[in-house]
Copies of this chain bind each other. A is one copy, B any other.
Amino acid sequence: MSRASIVTIGNEILSGITVNTNAAYLADRLLTVGISTVSGFTVEDKIDSIVRALKVALEDADIIITTGGLGPTSDDITREALARFLGVKLELKKELLEKIEDFFVRIGRQMPANNKQQAYLPAGTSAIENEIGTAPGIRAVKNEKIIFCLPGVPAEMKMMFESSVLEELAQMVKQSNQPVTVLRKVNCFGAGESTIAGMLEPLCARDRNPLINFTADCGVVTVHIVAIGKDYNEAIRLAEAEQEKIVERLCELVFGTDQRSLAEIVGGRLVELGKTIAVAESCTGGLLAEIITEIQGASSYFTHGWITYSNDAKMNELGVGVDLINRYGAVSAEVAEAMAKGARARAKTDVSIAITGIAGPSGGTEQKPVGLVYISVDSSFYSRTRMFKFASDRASIRLRSANMALNIVRLALQKLT
C-alpha cells in the first residue's frame, strides 16, 4: 500500500491552458506519508480515455488519485467514467443534493439545474466533503485498491486532500508492514546549491539511503531527503535523523523544515516578538508587500507599504533627499538606506525594508547593469544596506530580491529574544 498513480482529467490541462500543479502537489504530499507516485496520466474529458487511464494506473499502483471532471457542466464526466470503470450505475444521493443546495443558499444564489448532477455517485462509493465548493469528491474501492476522485480547482483539491484523504492513506501505510519511501525537507536560504552540497559531504553520495537531492528556486534551496525503510516507522526514523543532522550542519542557512515559506517564518517571528514591519519598494513594485500580506493575519504586523517607482515618489513619500538621488542615482546604497529610514520614520514600525534596483530587461548601464539590487533593512537592533547582483530575468530578479530581503530580516530577528 505505498504506490500511487495520479490521473489528471481535463482538456484544459492537455491543451496546455493550465499547468498541472495538482500532480506535483499530490506527489509531494504523498511522499511525506511514505507513498511513492509511480506513474501519471493526463487524459481528455472522454469516458473511454479516463477508463483506460484508470485501468493502466491500477496495473502500477494500489492507490489512484484523480483530479478534475467533477464540476456541474456536461464536460464533467469523471462520475460516469468511474461508474463505467467500476461496472456500476450512478445513483442520486439525497444528502449530497441537500448539501449542494445549502451551498447555494449560503452564497445567496439560486442553484443552477445542472449542479444536480454533482449529487450522483457510482453505486457503492462514498462522497468526500467539499468545504469550499460544490463538487463533492468520491472514494471508491476496487480489487482492494483505493481510488480518490478530487476536484480540479487547486484550492478545493488541496483542502479536500488534506482534510479527508491524507490521514487515511497515512494510516494505511503505517499498518501495511511493507517497505516504504518517505520524504523530508530542509528549506535553506543564503547559499547556492553547490555550496550547500559541499557542506553536506559525504551525505550526498548517490548510493546512500537516505538519498539527498537539491532544488533551487529564486534563492530558496530545498534539500530533499528520500529515505527507504522496511516499514513506515523505520523510513521516518531514517529520514528524520538525517534531517536533524542536516539542520545542524547548515545552521542558520535553514529557515524551515515544513511547508512554510520565508514570509510565513518571518511573519510568525514578528508575531512572537510583537514587532511590526513596513516596506518601501522600487524595482520589486509591490511584490515584497504582496508576499508578506498573502499570509493570513499579516495585518497584525504589517502596517504600511510604499511603492516608490518614480524619483518623485521616493522624495515626496519617503523623504529621500534630491541630492542623494542626483549624486548617487535612484539605484544606490544611499537611496536604499534613505528609503528604509524614511519608511520606518513615517510608519513608526519596529522594522523597515527598502529595495531599489534594476529588474530589466531594459534600463541597465555598464555601471549599473540589470540585476543590480540594493536592499536596506532598518530597525533599532539591525541596520544595514547590502548590494546584490542577480543574473536572471525580470521576474526572477524581483522574486530573488524580495526573498533576499525577507531572509535578511529573518536573520536579524533570529538573534532577538
What is the distance, in angstroms, from A328's C-beta to the closest C-beta of chain B?
18
Number of copies of chain A assembled together: 2
- In the complex, whether A174 has a CB less than 8 A from a CB of chain B is no
- In the complex, whether A172 has a CB less than 8 A from a CB of chain B is no
Query: Contact: B305 with A310, CB < 8 Å?
Result: no
Q: Report if A305-B293 is in contact (Cβ < 8 Å); known contacts: A16-B24, A16-B28, A20-B19.
A: no
Please measure, in the bound complex, the distance between the C-alpha atom of A47 and the C-alpha atom of B309, giving whole angstroms.
Answer: 49
Please measure, in the bound complex, the distance between the C-alpha atom of A285 and the C-alpha atom of B292, giving whole angstroms.
Answer: 8
- In the complex, whether A334 has a CB less than 8 A from a CB of chain B is no
Query: Contact: B303 with A304, CB < 8 Å?
Result: no
Query: Contact: A309 with B304, CB < 8 Å?
Result: yes
Please measure, in the bound complex, the distance between the C-alpha atom of A226 and the C-alpha atom of B75, giving whole angstroms.
Answer: 15
Select from chain B the residue with minimum beta-carbon distance to A294: B395
What is the distance, in angstroms, from A210's C-beta to the closest C-beta of chain B?
14
Interface centre among A16, A297, A361 (most CB of B within 10 A): A16
| Number of chain A interface residues as a range | 35 or more
Please measure, in the bound complex, the distance between the C-alpha atom of A12 and the C-alpha atom of B296, giving whole angstroms.
Answer: 28
Select from chain B the residue with minimum beta-carbon distance to A20: B20
| Complex partner residue of A309 from B56, B222, B302, CB under 8 angstroms | B302
Please measure, in the bound complex, the distance between the C-alpha atom of A23 and the C-alpha atom of B257, giving whole angstroms.
Answer: 29
Please measure, in the bound complex, the distance between the C-alpha atom of A317 and the C-alpha atom of B304, giving whole angstroms.
Answer: 9
Please measure, in the bound complex, the distance between the C-alpha atom of A36 and the C-alpha atom of B198, giving whole angstroms.
Answer: 45
Residues on the B chain within 8 Å of A75, using CB: 213
Q: Report if A286-B309 is in contact (Cβ < 8 Å); known contacts: A28-B15, A398-B294.
A: no
- In the complex, whether A74 has a CB less than 8 A from a CB of chain B is yes
Residues on the B chain within 8 Å of A31, using CB: 15-16
- In the complex, whether A367 has a CB less than 8 A from a CB of chain B is no
Q: Report if A307-B304 is in contact (Cβ < 8 Å); known contacts: A19-B20, A31-B15.
A: yes
Please measure, in the bound complex, the distance between the C-alpha atom of A237 and the C-alpha atom of B215, giving whole angstroms.
Answer: 45
- In the complex, whether A42 has a CB less than 8 A from a CB of chain B is yes
Please measure, in the bound complex, the distance between the C-alpha atom of A290 and the C-alpha atom of B43, giving whole angstroms.
Answer: 35
* 23 contacts across the A-B interface (CB closer than 8 A): A8-B40, A12-B213, A13-B24, A14-B38, A14-B39, A15-B37, A16-B24, A16-B27, A17-B215, A19-B21, A39-B42, A40-B41, A132-B393, A284-B293, A285-B298, A285-B305, A286-B305, A287-B293, A296-B361, A296-B362, A299-B310, A303-B309, A304-B313
Sorted nearest first, the 6 A-B pairs with minimum C-beta distance are A285-B293, A286-B289, A305-B307, A16-B27, A40-B42, A16-B28
